[in-house]
Structure 1
Amino acid sequence: MTTHDTEHRIDVDAPAETVYDLIARAESWPAVFTPTVHVEQLERGQGVERIRIWATANGAVKVWTSRRDLDPAALRVRFRQEVSQHPVAAMGGEWIIERRGQAACSVRLLHDYRAVGDTEENARWIAEAVDRNSGSELASLKAAAEFAAERARLTITFDDVVTVDASPADVFAFIDEAGEWARRLPHVASVRLTEETPGLQVLEMDTRTADGATHTTKSVRVCLPAERIVYKQQVLPKLMSVHTGQWRFAATGAGTTVTSTHTVVVVPENIASVLGPDATVEQAKNYIRDALGRNSTATMLAAKEYAESRVAARAS
């Protein structure tokens, strides 16, 4: 079977250690790398970890499990997929960071892969996905490292919480069944949900804003039954360059605590066109926090009513 090798490279005007930390902390990738939807750490040992990654490739959503060997002294991270998805038969590679002085470095991203059936069609699909994602990831890595302070200034993370007198499974069902939201939630004008792989959803929504306008968003959602639903927006409103979030369902003695978490990176150059010429970054953050929090809370309160009515129906 043919093994294909690729290399992508970029120069970064930031310390090598800063870049290495971004690569090593895979759990932060959804907020850094455009293709990455969600990462879960399965195991962690001394310099070794196993992670599961959900990411887009050529417009499709894929999930795979990888082993990573982390070497901070050598500024290298090696990876090898343990469980791949069609059309990938096998894939591995390495991140290599090379110093260019104290505040600059070069990053090389290597891949080796084999295609299912060793066919030209499958190999071409993988080559296109590797080239597109590697270019996107390296560009995002460069921006995140070079503008770390500015990015931190533009980032907001917040929670909203609702308690429910029902089991996590009952509450999860409402959030999971997003295809029903247009008739269940007043702020959702229309919705299109596809789920070709169980637990892996693509959700496109037209949402009503407080002033009566509507905007369209598209998200990839990873649904982990009765525990979490993690998502990342692929089509975003003008004020956001990144929007990731999750719904968490925690059992309590009396029922369930539902937590909605959002992480957003503001687009400063769009603030004036959305909020007016004198609006500030802090005002944009407050606007986003109010809008997203209002919709999340409305969704959780509707889930509460839905779940508690199911409990009552079973008891009657």
Structure 2
Amino acid sequence: MTGERVRRTSHSTEVAAPAGVVYGLISDAVRWPLFFPPNVHVERLEFDGTNERLRMWATAGGEVRSWISQRVQDPQTRRIEFRQSHPQAPVESMLGIWQIEELAGGTTRLTLLHDFTVYGDRAEDIAWVEQAVDTNSRAELASLKGLAERWTRFDELVLSFEDTVHIDAPEEAVYDFLYRVGDWPRLIPHVSRLDLTEDAPGVQVMRMDTLTADGSSHTTESVRVCFPHAGRIVYKQTVTPALMEAHTGEWSVVSDGTGVTAVSQHSVVLREDAVERVLGPGADLAQARRYVREALGRNSTATLELARRHAESLLRTG
């Protein structure tokens, strides 16, 4: 990729954390949706320890976009090179480098470089890509800096868990209930309102009002990526409740020989500065972890139970 058509950008920040911590967060691309605001989902297609191929979904310029990315990891130099092998128009080509430099005093300089070209070189398309790259790069660096600088409390801030329900019904019936999220307000008592768009097949953008156990309501916004042949729906909350800095999850339906096991999985980064505001003076991260685990688990288990009743009733009436 040479010539005047190539646009180059550079973004950097200093992080008060060890270089190894920063590199570890960047190298673990599968967890980027939890770490980086723009990223919705990452599927690792291939990885041999150095060379990696990823399918990525992310928001850019107000749209949900997807591409295949090739990466080369070099932990010795703390450098990761990437290239989009199947970019989405108007991007014609996109490549770049993550560079991590260890500074004195245990701090790190993180630099993100992009080189890209745009189909047809139309001014409006160039401006769109430049704006998207700038906005996402700034968001990624700021989020990574904030997370890395709390690395000594990482295990307290991040939690993952799952709930399961056995269902005596075909996998397709259970998946269909979870996929038809637009019907949830009339099927699920704790969902009071839901607005849904699905401009690309299997990519759902939704805004949902959810009732909590004390009768209050909170609004979330999410992007869902659906894999019907695999019985999976992954999602990223782009607007989260007060206690959560980030929230990703997955619904999956797996045949188990006597029916199916429906699974709801959650991963969360807690918003530390909201703990006392939400839970009261003196509340700590341990209390926040219990509260979030119980609240999310209660709602997702209720949804799975309703999916069970719905799918099993179809089997009886069918």
Determine if contact 2:156/2:286 at 8 Å carries over to the other structure: no
Using a 3 Å threshold, how does the CA distance of structure 1 residues 199 and 236 change in structure 2: closer, same or farther? Answer: same
Partner of 1:122: 125
SS across alignment from 1:238: coil
Partner of 1:112: 115
1:28 is aligned to 2:42: no
Return the offset for 1:216: 0.6
Q: In structure 2, what is the Cα distance between the partners aligned to 1:46 and 1:183? A: 47
Determine if contact 1:87/1:122 at 8 Å carries over to the other structure: yes
SS across alignment from 2:169: coil
Q: 305-314 or 56-65, which moves further after superposition?
A: 305-314
Q: In structure 2, what is the Cα distance between the partners aligned to 1:151 and 1:68? A: 26
**Selected match of 2:152 from 142, 149, 153:** 149
Return the offset for 1:46: 4.4
SS across alignment from 1:83: coil
Return the offset for 1:271: 2.3
1:291 is aligned to 2:288: no
Identity %: 47
Deviations 1:44-80 (A, max 9, x none): 1241010011111122111110111111112111111
Return the offset for 1:35: 0.7
1:4 is aligned to 2:12: no
Partner of 1:308: 312
Q: In structure 1, what is the Cα distance between the partners aligned to 2:269 and 2:20? A: 23
Q: 40-49 or 183-192, which moves further after superposition?
A: 40-49
**Selected match of 2:183 from 180, 183, 186:** 180
Return the offset for 1:149: 2.1
- Normalised to the residue count of structure 2, the TM-score between the two structures is 0.95
Residues 79-118 of structure 1: pairs in structure 2 closer than 5 A: 79-101=82-104, 103-118=106-121
**Selected match of 2:166 from 147, 163, 166:** 163
**Selected match of 2:201 from 198, 202, 210:** 198
Determine if contact 1:15/1:102 at 8 Å carries over to the other structure: no
SS across alignment from 2:292: helix
- Normalised to the residue count of structure 1, the TM-score between the two structures is 0.95
**How many pairs does the alignment contain?**
314
1:212 is aligned to 2:212: no
Listed as ranges, the gaps of 5+ residues in structure 1 are none
**Selected match of 2:68 from 65, 68, 72:** 65
Determine if contact 2:17/2:151 at 8 Å carries over to the other structure: no
Partner of 1:280: 284
Listed as ranges, the gaps of 5+ residues in structure 2 are none
Partner of 1:76: 79
**Selected match of 1:269 from 257, 269, 273:** 273
Deviations 1:75-120 (A, max 9, x none): 1111110111122111111111122136222111110111122111
